[in-house]
Amino acid sequence: MRRTPPVAVHLQAQPVVQAHVALIAALAAGGLAASAISHQPLAWPVMLGVPLAAVWTWRTAAVLPRRLRWDGQTWWLAEPGRADETEVQLAVLLDFDNWLLLRASPGPRWLPLSRRQQQAQWTALRATLFSAPQAP
């Protein structure tokens, strides 16, 4: 049986992804606030929570710089500020061809990757993700 070759990618900040997540949160918070106001007009101060939800979501959706590595048998994830790597199991949650959302377990840790940021390794990464044997 042939083994898949080693691959390493560096995760970087993705402000476009952060902006989309913050927009979705702001729209959801705005919808909830509008619903509350329609039932109780004195509830208008809840609308002040909309920008707070957007800012909080922007901050929590930030991608920390990490390194994801396949050594031919196992996926490894290096967290920022740590010298050691953690063995992880990956699941592809969303695949838009130019953009991937992975879930690394244990955790879970959400790992967004884009072709633009991983130009040199993109083809090898996708091939490895979909052809590497999965652990039980």
| Residues 70-116 pLDDT 10s | 998 899 999 887 888 999 999 999 999 999 999 999 988 889 999 99
Q: What is the pTM assigned to this prediction? A: 0.78
For the chain, how far is it from start to end, CA to CA, in angstroms?
A: 18
pLDDT for the residue 30 = 94
110 SS3 class? strand
pLDDT for the residue 134 = 67
Arithmetic mean of pLDDT, 42-56 = 92
Third-level CATH fold of 7-14+63-131: PH-domain like (2.30.29)
40 SS3 class? coil
CB 7, CB 70: distance < 8 Å: yes
Q: 103-133, pLDDT tens digit by residue?
A: 999 988 889 999 998 888 999 999 999 887 7
Region of 59 please: left (phi>0), alpha (psi -120 to 50) or beta: alpha
10 Cβ partners below 8 Å, 6+ apart? Answer: 65, 66, 67, 68, 118
Q: Is the pLDDT of residue 6 over 80?
A: yes
90 Cβ partners below 8 Å, 6+ apart? Answer: 75, 102, 103, 104, 105, 111, 129
